[in-house]
C-alpha cells in the first residue's frame, strides 16, 4: 500500500489541477456546440444559383393569375411540373421585354434549343410518387398551401442542396431543428410533414403505397 501512496503524492505535482481539466472540457464543449450549430449547416448545404432569375409575378399577371397556365395537368392525370422549353417558346420565341434575364434565356436556351436546368425547390426523391391530382383536384388544395406564395415573387430564392443526400433544403426546412414555418410560407416536405397533414385532414397518416413507388 505504501507504493500506492507514494505514487499519488509523487504524481500530484505532475498533474494538471481539476479546474484546468474543467476548462478544457468547457472549451471542447463550446467549440463543438458552435461548430455543430453554425459551421455544420454551412458545410452540409451547398448553395446553387438558378440558371435564370425567374419572375413569377410578371408571368402570373400575364397568364391570367392561374398557376396551371404553366404548371398544368396532362390528360393522363400526371402533373407537368416546370414548363419545357417548347412551352416557354410559345410566348418567348422573340424577346417580350428588355429584361436581362429574358435576354439571357433567349440567348442561352431558346437560341441553342437547350432545356433550362431549373432547380426544383420541392423536388421529391425518386422513391416518391406525389400525386398533384389527388391534392389539387381531389382535395381542392391551393398550390400556396405547400409551395408558399411563390406566384407573387419577383425573383427566385437561393437554392440550397444537401451535399450528402442531394435533396433540396426545402424538404427538411431551413431550420436545423425543423422549427417554425418555412420562409416561403408553404410546408416542409419530409414524409412526416405529409403524414402530419394527412392525419389531421383524413384521420390517417396514409398507407405506404399511397405516396411511394
Question: Interface with another protein by CB under 8 A: which residues?
Answer: 3-4, 7, 10, 14-17, 20-22, 24-33, 35-37, 40-41, 44, 73-78, 80, 125-127, 129, 131-134, 137-138, 162, 164-167, 176-177, 202-210, 212-213
Asked if residue 71 lies in contact with residue 79, where contact means CB atoms within 8 angstroms, the answer is yes
- Closest to another protein by CB, 57 vs 137, is 137
DSSP 8-state assignment for residue 165? T
- Closest to another protein by CB, 103 vs 176, is 176
* Shortest reach from residue 154's CB to another protein, in Å: 29
CA distance 208 to 213: 9
* Shortest reach from residue 64's CB to another protein, in Å: 20
Residues whose CB is less than 8 angstroms from the CB of residue 213 and which lie 6 or more positions away in sequence, other chains included: 127, 128, 129
Location of C-alpha cell 409575378: 57
* Shortest reach from residue 104's CB to another protein, in Å: 24
C-alpha cell at 191: 414524409
- Closest to another protein by CB, 75 vs 200, is 75
Residues whose CB is less than 8 angstroms from the CB of residue 80 and which lie 6 or more positions away in sequence, other chains included: 71, 72, 73, 74
* Shortest reach from residue 192's CB to another protein, in Å: 11
* Shortest reach from residue 128's CB to another protein, in Å: 8
Location of C-alpha cell 410518387: 129
- Closest to another protein by CB, 111 vs 207, is 207
Helix (H, G, I), strand (E, B) or coil at 116: coil
CB burial readout 156-189, b (16+ within 10 A) else e:
beebbbeeeeebbbbbbbbeeeeeeebebebbbb
- Closest to another protein by CB, 98 vs 207, is 207
Amino acid at each position: 500500500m505504501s507504493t500506492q501512496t507514494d505514487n499519488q503524492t509523487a504524481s500530484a505535482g505532475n498533474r494538471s489541477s481539476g479546474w484546468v481539466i474543467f476548462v478544457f472540457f468547457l472549451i471542447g464543449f463550446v467549440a463543438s456546440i458552435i461548430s455543430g450549430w453554425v459551421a455544420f449547416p454551412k458545410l452540409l448545404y451547398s448553395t446553387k444559383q438558378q440558371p435564370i432569375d425567374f419572375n413569377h409575378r410578371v408571368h402570373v399577371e400575364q397568364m391570367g393569375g392561374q398557376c396551371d397556365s404553366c404548371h398544368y395537368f396532362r390528360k393522363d392525370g400526371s402533373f407537368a411540373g416546370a414548363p419545357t422549353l417548347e412551352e416557354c417558346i410559345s410566348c418567348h420565341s422573340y424577346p417580350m421585354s428588355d429584361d436581362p434575364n429574358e435576354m439571357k434565356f433567349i440567348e442561352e436556351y431558346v437560341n441553342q434549343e437547350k432545356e433550362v436546368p431549373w432547380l426544383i425547390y420541392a423536388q421529391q426523391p425518386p422513391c416518391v410518387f406525389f400525386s398533384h391530382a389527388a391534392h389539387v383536384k381531389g382535395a381542392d388544395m391551393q398550390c400556396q398551401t405547400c409551395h408558399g406564395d411563390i406566384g407573387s415573387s419577383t425573383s427566385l430564392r437561393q437554392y440550397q442542396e444537401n451535399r450528402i443526400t442531394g435533396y433540396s433544403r426545402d424538404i427538411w426546412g431551413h431550420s436545423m431543428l425543423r422549427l417554425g414555418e418555412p420562409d416561403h410560407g408553404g410546408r416542409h416536405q419530409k414524409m412526416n410533414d405529409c403524414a402530419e397533414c394527412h392525419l389531421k385532414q383524413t384521420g390517417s397518416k396514409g398507407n405506404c403505397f399511397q405516396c411511394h413507388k
